A = this chain, B = another copy of it.
Amino acid sequence: MIAKTPEPPYYAVIFTSVLNEVHEGYDEMADEMVKLAETQPGFLGIESARSGLGISVSYWTDEVSIKNWKEQSRHQLAQKYGRENWYKSFMTRVAKVERDYGFGNT
């Protein structure tokens, strides 16, 4: 469940969100987007958790891959639905991972 990422540097997209109380169709689209992201060039892994606040961190080899994913047509539709129907608020942060360290079977 912890993403297996290569040696830094690589990129992280930290997506933090609060859903509206009614968010019909969100779970299905979220599952679809994870499956689609996994097929994109430069994708390294994704970690997600939600307990009130949702945090999803996807990892990418470089910024061009992130830009291409943001502009992918089906993903564009998901983003539009998200803004119009599902998210009360969100924040996306694009960050360059400079170092990492772990413990256990990560």
Contact = CB atoms under 8 A, between A and B. Distances in A.
B94 A100 contact: yes
Q: Which of A1, A89, A95, A98 has the most CB of B within 10 A?
A: A95
B103 A83 contact: yes
What range describes how many residues of A lie at the interface? 35 or more
A73 B63 CA distance: 37
A100 B17 CA distance: 13
A52 B49 contact: yes
Tell me how many chains of this kind the complex includes. Answer: 2
Interface string A2-15: 11010010001010
Interface string A41-74: 0000001111111110100000000000000000
B95 A98 contact: yes
Given A47-B55, A104-B87, A1 B14 contact: no
